[in-house]
Amino acid sequence: MDAKNQHAKRPPAQLPKIPSQPTGIYMSAEALTPLPVPPEVSPNHLDDDYDDGSAVIISLPVKGMEKKEAPSICKPAKENNSRKLHIPILYVLVAIGFAAWITLFFLVLEKYSEISEKIENLNLNNSEKFKKMMEDLDYVKTTQLMTEQYSSNRFAETEEILESTCSQGNITIVSSCPHRWKRQGKYCYYFSAENTNWTNALWNCINDKAYLVSILSDEEQGFVRNNLNEVDHWLGMSDLEGQWKWKESGMPLITSFWDRGEPSNDDKKNCGIMHPGGTWASAVCSAHKRWICQKKLSC
């Protein structure tokens, strides 16, 4: 009895403390399952330790709150390796692009130098040709002036001889002009129906024993104006020597009927013409126009 009383009075055995779980993370299970009894522990001993009837509370983790695995470091490593691979490729592409640009630059520079050299040679050739052309032009002008001067002198000498002969009374004065020529006073005038340049017109008149017309009076100006055929005609004046002169006598112009703004300052317009209205103007000697010849009546 004493042993039983002592056993009954013994205080209940202390249960091992279970660490408290964080609030809100764990919850108690509704069904409690008795802990399995180790084989080496006797049933009496369990009764001694747990005869107070206390229940053991087992905490289970809430579903969905399982511990997540730490993110793997493999993916960043792969990304780093990919970036390291892209950088050298980028450098190679930049180097190739730079090399291509340098090559293109030198090709353009070479082509530019080649074209510049060709242009320089072309300009040099053109300069030489232009210089030679100007020399030839000067030679032609000089020859033309000499020829015209010679013809003018011979023509003047012929007229002097004719006047001297007529004054002696040995020759009868011819009172009519050749066919298609028109008479005005002591002169005959021919108005051409063809066109030619100034020099050829001059020689055509000389071949007819005449000269390109020289207008020395208002009366003569009016006669010539009234017989024009509504087109420009060459006159016997030019400024090839730097001054406007009549080619027949070599005398400067005394009477003039220049149009407004004439004579032109254009170096290429060195020969005189008469417009249909009677005004004078300068023109390029190589232009093709009609002409007027003039000669004295012979005796």
Tens-digit pLDDT profile for residues 39-85: 554 445 444 544 454 544 555 554 544 555 555 545 555 556 666 66
**Structure tokens that stand for 212 in this block:** 């390109």
pLDDT at 94 exceeding the cut of 70: yes
**Structure tokens that stand for 71 in this block:** 């993110």
What whole-number distance in Å separates Cα of residue 86 and Cα of residue 78? 13
Please tell me whether the overall predicted TM-score, pTM, comes out greater than 0.75 for this model: no
pLDDT the model gives residue 68: 52
Instruction: Give the C-alpha distances (Å, rounded to integers) separating 151 from 15, 50, 252.
Output: 158, 164, 18
What whole-number distance in Å separates Cα of residue 286 and Cα of residue 200? 9
Banded pLDDT at 222 (limits 50, 70, 90):
very high
Specify the DSSP element, H or E, that contains 105.
helix 74-167
What whole-number distance in Å separates Cα of residue 68 and Cα of residue 204? 123
pLDDT the model gives residue 8: 47
What whole-number distance in Å separates Cα of residue 155 and Cα of residue 148? 10
pLDDT the model gives residue 46: 46
What rounded mean pLDDT belongs to the chain? Answer: 75
Instruction: Give the C-alpha distances (Å, rounded to integers) separating 51 from 6, 13, 24, 45.
Output: 14, 8, 32, 10
Structure-model confidence comparison of residues 2 and 89, the more confident one: 89
**Structure tokens that stand for 229 in this block:** 């055929």
What whole-number distance in Å separates Cα of residue 128 and Cα of residue 120? 12
In which residue are the tokens 């030839």 written?
A: 136
- Contact (Cβ atoms closer than 8 angstroms) between residue 191 and residue 290: yes
pLDDT at 246 exceeding the cut of 80: yes
- Contact (Cβ atoms closer than 8 angstroms) between residue 189 and residue 227: yes
What whole-number distance in Å separates Cα of residue 52 and Cα of residue 186? 176
pLDDT at 208 exceeding the cut of 50: yes
Domain boundaries, the chain: 99-171, 181-296
pLDDT the model gives residue 18: 53
CATH architecture of 181-296: Roll (3.10)
